[in-house]
Amino acid sequence: MVAKAPSKQSTTKLSELPHEGHFGEFGGQFVPEILIPALKELERAHKEITARFDFQSELKALRADYGGRPTPLYFAKRLTEHAGGARIFLKREDVVHGGAHTLNNALGQALLARAMGKRRVIAETGAGQHGVAVAMACAVLGLNAEIYMGARDIERQALNAQRMKVLGAVVHAVTSGSQTLKDAINEALRDWVTNVPTTYYLMGSVIGPHPYPMIVRDFQRVIGDEIKGQLLRREQRLPDLLVACVGGGSNAIGTFYPFVSDEKVQFLGVEAAGAASLSRGSIGVLHGAKTFVLQDEHGHIAETHSIAAGLDYAAVGPEHALYKKLGRGEYVPVSDAEALEGFRLLARLEGILPALEAAHAVYAGVQRAKRMKRDQIMVITLSGRGDKDLETVVRYDTQPTPEQTL
Amino acid sequence: MILSQRLNKRFEEVRRRGEAALIGYIMTGEPQLPRTLEYIKALEAGGLDVLELGVPFTDPIADGPTLQAAHARALRQGVTVHTALQFVRELRKSSELPILLMTYYNPIYRLGEESFARRCSEASVDGVIIPDLPIEEATSWVNQARKYGLARVFFATPETDTERVKKICEYASGFLYLVSRYGTTGAHETLAPTAIPLIERVRPLVPQDLRLAVGFGFSTRAQIEMVVRAGVDGVIVGSALAARIAEGASPETITDYVRELKAGTRPLP
Ligand SMILES: Cc1ncc(COP(=O)(O)O)c(C=O)c1O
């Protein structure tokens, strides 16, 4: 995190620049020059404003009374019996207001935007859960929200697109590229370079240029902090394994980060097989950060596919890239069909409909639990609820396409 | 290796003639791969002083709809960094037009900064413009570009404060690229209200050996005259050319358009 010394061969001495915002070799600020001052301002504001007592107490109250935190840590008895191995707990982010973990971050950043005097908030969304959370946070704090969403995602997450509109947000359909999350981010960034003096970009995951991966992590770490307290109270011990799905990686980082120095606690990140940047990608630069990216030999970004719109993304947060490189976290791919198996399993055994994103974590968690001992503890973060996905699931059951059986 | 002299020499000649340089952009592979060279020749015939040759990327976040479409068309034709370098080699057989590659950072990173810089130098490219590489991330690139004699163009914008402009000038060579307006690339008919104040503010901060060029939104002779009077050494035209080429303008039409723009670089006092 210190300034890189300019190379000895250089003839002119470059000014020392702060080289913060890197996770090892990953992260950084690979963005157009016009955004650099805004990112620096954001970094400063985040540091100063979130440290204030009144900010923290307002956030805490909103999270509790508006958002429904703390969320339960539920012992999934029947799922545990089914797997026949480790005891499986579910961290119930699906019961957060709005239906996903995304509100944790949206409330935090919307409060920050308001404190910075920015009343126009823009955001990208994939599954629509971040868009819904931003629309809610902006409604409750009196801000204006504009959400960029891929046209393909609007189609497959129609309910969420409708919810955003009803909540007062303007929804922009993005028709460029693959019309999914990646393209929604491109379009949100283009909006930001055009309106940067008046606009707050409320990034939805631990991706993008510094300081976003840090800010979003700080607002999502409440998941892991709660898990730690709840499990210590209940079991007087830490978990053996934490499992979470990874799209950009925010619910996973929120789950893992508070345990990063607890070396015995292992992390399992679960990616969509058709968008598995950590499992199958290579190092590259996308949306402002150096990280693992799905790309070809020329550095062109690959088109991805997942049945879960929130995991359908060609890159991943730089902090996960570092965890992977250091071996701190393990990352595995799960296919559409496997995720659906996880979805059905949780529905029938526990009466919970997980979001298709979270269903990836359920599937991988159950597989892993089978190989663990009965006295071991696993926590699966259930990042969201599955109401938004019912239509997709039903359609898949009746007519799986070759693409879907990837 | 010392900096490629083609670019500096061209700026010198232009200045001696009492003009500013007209810098034009074309995406490799426009309007179709076999015709790009023909259109570059057409630009040159109209009096273009410096060429920016585009390398396509899947996610061109600094570009508006016109250039996004150009990126997409080029990708569909399989254009890569290597295609662009091949064009430069071809062009060099008959032209001393200074050429800068304009590419997002990931294709460079994928190839390796050193390998990319070496190939550029071997193809006699004169410099590189990377719209998503701010100076914070550019230390190693600057060293490679120095080693291989490539101009390193960096940006300054209406958001860039004085202290930062000075820092950017330490990293830059060839010219400093002023972004005249908030927003992505795209042609406009009028000059952005931010343009002249930006030029006036930055001009005194730029060292002797660095030129000052302005771009984003230029499409008319009148706009060019205004910024040249305000004291820039070059004006960059991108989307306006790209839009005309995409709409099927003939090489002759492009030559005429460039000639008209070029006239704006020598305003009467
Ligand atoms: C329910 C749910 N889970 C997970 C994700 C993936 O995002 P992240 O990896 O940032 O948690 C999303 C994204 O929209 C989501 O809606």
Round the average pLDDT of chain B to a whole number and report it: 96
Contact list in A for residue B59 (CB cut-off 8 A) is 177, 182-183, 186, 286-287, 301
**Strand-pair partners of A73:** A91
Scanning every residue of chain A, which has its alpha carbon at the shortest distance from the alpha carbon of B143?
Answer: A10
Provide the CB-side half-sphere exposure for A382 (13 A, CA): 28
pLDDT of residue A399: 66
- Is the per-residue pLDDT at A287 higher than 60? yes
CB contact under 8 A, B143 and A290: no
Report the residue from B107, B170, B182 with minimal CB separation from A14. B170
What confidence score (pLDDT) does residue A396 get? 87
Given a cut of 60, is residue A290 above it in pLDDT?
Answer: yes
Nearest to A207 by CA among A2, A36, A23: A23
Q: What's phi and psi for B121, nearest 5 deg? A: -65, -40
CA distance B213 to B234: 4
Nearest CA owner, ligand 1 atom 14: A310
Q: Residue A328: is its pLDDT beyond 50?
A: yes
Q: How confident is the model at residue A16 (pLDDT cuts 50, 70, 90)?
A: very low
The percent of residues above 70 in pLDDT, for chain A, comes to 93
For chain A, say whether B61 makes contact (Cβ under 8 Å): yes
Structure confidence at residue B268 (pLDDT): 73
For the CA atoms of A97, A391, A77, A260, the dihedral, rounded to the nearest 10 degrees, stands at: -60
> ipTM score of the complex?
0.97
Closest C-alpha to A104, from A5, A257, A217, A18: A217
Which residue from A90, A124, A129, A256 has its CB within 8 A of the most atoms of ligand 1, so it is best to mutate?
Answer: A129
Asked if pLDDT for residue A403 goes beyond 90, the answer is no
Burial annotation A113-146 (CB, 10 A radius, 16+ → b, else e) = bbbeebebbbbbbbbbbbbbbbbbbbbebebebb
Angstrom distance (rounded) from CA A184 to CA A308? 16
Atom of ligand 1 lying closest to residue A126 CA: 14
Beta-ladder partners of A384? A100
Distance from CA of A227 to the nearest CA of B (A): 37
Of B262, B199, B243, B229, the C-alpha closest to B45 is: B262
Q: Which residue out of A217, A250, A307, A390 has the highest number of ligand 1 atoms within 8 Å of its CB and is therefore the one to mutate?
A: A250
The SS3 assignment for B73 reads helix
- Per residue in A186-243, pLDDT (tens digit) is 999 999 999 999 999 999 999 999 999 999 999 999 999 999 999 999 999 999 999 9
Q: Is B130 left (phi over 0), alpha (psi -120 to 50) or beta?
A: beta
At A398 the pLDDT is: 78
Q: Tell if the CB–CB gap between B139 and A6 is shorter than 8 Å.
A: yes
B209 touches chain A (CB under 8 A): no
Residue B86 to chain A, least CA–CA distance (Å): 15
Q: Of all residues in chain B, what percent carry a pLDDT higher than 90?
A: 97
Each residue's pLDDT tens digit, A298-315: 999 999 999 999 999 999
Ligand 1 centroid – CA B189 distance (Å): 42
- Could you tell me which of A112, A125, A199 has the C-alpha nearest to residue A164? A125
B236 and B212 in contact (C-beta within 8 Å)? no
Predicted confidence band of residue A397 (pLDDT cuts 50, 70, 90): confident
Predicted confidence at residue B120, as pLDDT, reads 98
Residues A357, A362, A367, A371, CA torsion sign: positive
Torsion of CA B111, B112, B114, B117, to 10 degrees: 40
Q: Sort A263 into a burial class: Cβ within 10 Å, 0-12 / 13-18 / 19+.
A: exposed
Q: H helices within chain B, ranges in order? A: 5-16, 36-45, 65-76, 81-92, 105-111, 113-122, 139-147, 162-171, 195-202, 221-229, 239-246, 251-263
Q: Which two tokens stand for residue B118?
A: 């070496």
Q: Which residues, judged by CB distance below 6 Å to any ligand atom, belong to the binding site of ligand 1?
A: A 100, 102, 126-127, 129-130, 205, 245-252, 310-311, 355, 357-358, 383-384
Chain A closest-CA separation from residue B134 CA (Å): 6
pLDDT in tens, B18-67: 999 999 999 999 999 999 999 999 999 999 999 999 999 999 999 999 99
Measure the CA–CA gap between B82 and B120, rounded to whole angstroms: 10
Per-residue pLDDT reduced to its tens digit, B103-151: 999 999 999 999 999 999 999 999 999 999 999 999 999 999 999 999 9
With a cut of 60, say whether residue A9 has pLDDT above it: no
Question: Which amino acid would we find at residue A73?
Answer: L
What phi and psi, each to the nearest 5 degrees, are found at residue B24? -120, 150
Residue of B79, B106, B152, B177 for testing the chain A interface, max A β-carbons within 10 Å: B106
Q: Closest Cα partner for A164 from A346, A388, A390, A401? A: A388
Helices (H) and strands (E) in chain A, counts: 16, 14
Nearest residue to B141 (alpha-carbon basis) of B27, B132, A286, B55: B132
Torsional sign, CA A175, A247, B109, A287: positive
- Coil/strand/helix, residue A268: strand
Q: Are A36 and B134 in contact (CB under 8 A)?
A: yes
Structural domains in chain B, sorted by start: 4-263 (3.20.20.70)
- Determine the longest span between alpha carbons in chain B, in angstroms: 48
Calculate how close chain B gets to A118, using CA atoms only, in Å.
16
- pLDDT, tens digit (0-9, with 9 covering 90-100), for B59-95: 999 999 999 999 999 999 999 999 999 999 999 999 9
Which of A29, A30, A196 is nearest residue B159 as measured by Cβ atoms? A196
Tokens of A356: 């298709």
A191 interaction partners in chain B (CB closer than 8 Å):
none
pTM: 0.95
Classify burial at A151, counting beta carbons within 10 Å of its beta carbon; exposed 0-12, middle 13-18, buried 19 or more: middle
Are B267 and B225 within 8 A, CB to CB?
Answer: yes
**In chain A, which residues have their Cβ closer than 8 Å to the Cβ of B109?**
283-285, 290, 299
Q: What is d(CA A125, CA A343) in angstroms, rounded to the nearest whole number?
A: 22
Residue A367's pLDDT is: 98
Question: What's the mean pLDDT when you consider all of chain A?
Answer: 93
**Rg of chain B over all Cα atoms, to the nearest angstrom:** 17
State the catalytic residues of B. 52, 63
* Structure confidence by residue, pLDDT tens digits, B211-238: 999 999 999 999 999 999 999 999 999 9
Sign of the dihedral defined by the CA atoms of residues A36, A38, A43, A48, in that order? positive
B123-182 residues touching A, CB cutoff 8 A:
131-137, 139-140, 142-143, 146-147, 154-161, 164, 167-168, 170-171, 179, 182
- Taking an 8 Å cut-off on Cβ atoms, the answer to whether A295 and B155 are in contact is no
Both tokens of residue A168?
């007062």
